[in-house]
Amino acid sequence: MSKLKSATQHIEVEVATKDLNITSVEAKATYNKIREWVENNYEFSVTNLYIAQVKRKHGILEHENYNQTGNSDGKQPQCPPDKEKAIEEALKHFKMI
């Protein structure tokens, strides 16, 4: 649609938000919100790397990370079980899993 100076007619469109089917992934929480939720509920912090690992484990695909580590062996620290559980609880809280 465009707005013309000489337009004498217009179309009004109403969309009710209840009619929109927003998936849980579209309504997802940011990494900051997930970190804050974990800190408030578990009193420890988690990194973006750990959040990404848990999201990947549950099939929440992210865009490719172009800032890969410079290590030639490709080893990354793995998320400890207690932090993994906390992140999973945060993802459940935000209805992402």
- Written as tens digits, the pLDDT of the chain (97 aa) is 556 566 677 788 877 766 565 554 555 799 999 999 999 999 999 999 999 999 999 998 877 766 666 666 668 899 999 999 999 999 999 999 9
Helix (H/G/I), strand (E/B), else coil: 86: helix
Residues of 66-86 as b/e, b for ≥16 C-beta within 10 angstroms? eeeeeeeeeeeeebeeebbeb
Q: What's this model's pTM, rounded to 2 decimal places? A: 0.67
